[in-house]
Amino acid sequence: MSRNRLGPPQCATCRHRTGGLMPGEPIGCPAFPEGIPEAILRNTHDHREPFGDEDLRWQPRGEHEHPLDQLAQMSRRQ
């Protein structure tokens, strides 16, 4: 079983995300019509890098930073 990295799924701040706004509502993505891989949902794969996604990768929704960048910044402050 893979461990979650801390923080929200990177999908939460991605412009391509569909759904996932209400409790219990699944997050969707046009890059993964059969479902977002666990490695991306658990932040164990940085989806700015290829992952069988037909070149549709994480892009910021609005002014959001990538969650993994936010975690790295928090780690450096500690």
Domain that holds residue 73: 7-78
**2 belongs to a structural domain:** no
**What is the predicted pLDDT for the residue at 1?**
41
Residue 71 inside a domain? The answer is: yes
Digit-coded pLDDT (tens) for 18-63: 998 899 999 999 999 999 999 999 999 999 999 999 899 999 999 9
What is the pTM (predicted TM-score) of this model?
Answer: 0.79
In the chain, the number of structural domains is 1
Is 1 inside any structural domain? Answer: no
Q: What is the pLDDT of residues 21-30, one digit of tens each?
A: 899 999 999 9
In a domain, 73, yes or no: yes
Q: Which one, of 17, 67, 74, 21, lies nearest residue 44 by Cα? A: 67
The SS3 assignment for 1 reads coil
Alpha carbons 36 and 64: distance in angstroms, whole number: 20
